[in-house]
Amino acid sequence: MLNYTIRRLVGAVPTLFLIIAISFFMVRSAPGGPFDRERVVPAEIKANLERVYHLDEPLWQQFLRYMGSILQGDFGPSFKYKDFSVTELIWQGFPVSAQLGGAAVLLSAIAGVALGALAALNQNGRLDGILMAGAMTGIAIPNFVMAPLLTLVLGVYLSWLPVGGWGDGGLRQATLPVLALALPQVAYVARLTRGSMIEVLGANYIRTARAKGLPERLTITRHALKGAMLPVVSYLGPATAAVITGSVVIEQIFGIPGIGRYFVQGALNRDYTLVMGTVIFYGVLIILANLLVDLAYGLLDPKVRYD
């Protein structure tokens, strides 16, 4: 497994390089620049600013300079947040984003598996129809639509929860953004679990367990559920990526001081280094999440070997 992990990490280097290269040239192809929204300054002062940040150099030279900084672990200074480096801003927002995203992924996995298994055990029944209809609704409504709806119902009409801010990250402040971020993934996991569970329940080893007199509860929890988890675990990598990218919108809607909010503000302000830093950071997180999912898949399925 160690050799497989090393090979995967080495194989991720070209992917990460492409992410950096494409993002670097795309963000600089957008109209405007980091100093265009400032008050009007004399041309020589603007030229001095561009020279300080090396923006007067050819793009290929800027790219090589930036790659050299990245190899040293330096994302550079922020153009808009004075006296802050991009690394400092990322580490300020990461704990909040990690708490938000981790809670959403955990809720997606637990609620999705429970609802999917319940639907499979009541296949073609009324409960199955209700749960799958709800799942299809959750899939059809993206989180940037779900967030205002939850805010309107639970926050404005019923006044149960605060409609914005993060505070100390307590349960009341975190409930709405976590729900808005997790609900679409709950729907996906529920449908995936239902289909996998139905297939596993018809397998020979499940019939054998029942024929031997194993209690139904143990048959479901010890055998059927474990086998049904394989497709779900495989999906958790893309689901984590969807949660990470979806948190960019959710953090902006709810005013949460996470990395996603910095990314949006950086894109609007043409803060090149801040945008690049968050893109690279998100890219590394997604690569590591997919690697962890592949390793977990091998733990669940003894037939998987990493030779």
Taking the CA atoms of 85, 89, 92 and 98 in sequence, report the sign of the dihedral they define: negative
Reduce the DSSP state of residue 77 to 3 states and report it: strand
CA distance 247 to 133: 25
Question: Class of the 95-254 domain?
Answer: mainly alpha
- What are the tens digits of pLDDT across the range 69-85? 888 888 888 877 777 88
The pLDDT score that the predictor gives to residue 163 is 78
Q: Provide CB contacts within 8 A for 241, sequence distance 6+.
A: 286, 289, 290
pLDDT > 90: percent of the chain = 0
CA distance 37 to 60: 25
Please, what is the angle between helix 272-300 and helix 259-268, to 10°? 140
**Mean pLDDT within 223-229:** 77
**Between 37 and 131, the higher pLDDT residue:** 131
* C-alpha to C-alpha distances, 241 to 23, 53, 92, 244, nearest whole angstrom: 17, 32, 21, 5
The pLDDT score that the predictor gives to residue 43 is 64
CA distance 105 to 187: 12
Does residue 250 have a pLDDT over 60? yes
**Mean pLDDT within 241-266:** 79
The pLDDT score that the predictor gives to residue 40 is 59
- What are the tens digits of pLDDT across the range 46-62? 666 667 667 777 788 88
Does residue 294 have a pLDDT over 70? yes
Which sequence spans correspond to the domains of the chain?
95-254
CA distance 20 to 29: 14
Average pLDDT, the chain: 80
Which has the closest alpha carbon to 250: 198, 162, 176, 302? 176
Task: State the pTM of this model.
Answer: 0.76
Query: Residue by residue, what is the 3-state secondary structure of 234-291?
Result: HHHHHHHHHHHHHHHHHHHHHCCCCHHHHHHHHHHCCCHHHHHHHHHHHHHHHHHHHH
CA distance 238 to 144: 18
What is the token pair recorded at 225?
């559920």
Does residue 44 have a pLDDT over 70? no
Of these ranges, 87-91, 266-270, 295-299, the one predicted with the greatest mean pLDDT is 87-91
What is the token pair recorded at 248?
């960019």
Does residue 298 have a pLDDT over 70? no
pLDDT > 70: percent of the chain = 88
- What are the tens digits of pLDDT across the range 136-169? 888 888 777 888 888 888 888 888 888 777 777 6
* C-alpha to C-alpha distances, 244 to 97, 103, 146, nearest whole angstrom: 8, 12, 16
Maximum alpha-carbon separation in the chain: 86
- What are the tens digits of pLDDT across the range 97-106? 888 888 888 8
Say if residues 97 and 166 touch (Cβ distance below 8 Å): no
Say if residues 209 and 223 touch (Cβ distance below 8 Å): yes
- What are the tens digits of pLDDT across the range 167-217? 776 778 888 888 888 888 888 888 888 888 888 887 777 778 778 777 777
CA distance 166 to 98: 13
Say if residues 259 and 278 touch (Cβ distance below 8 Å): yes
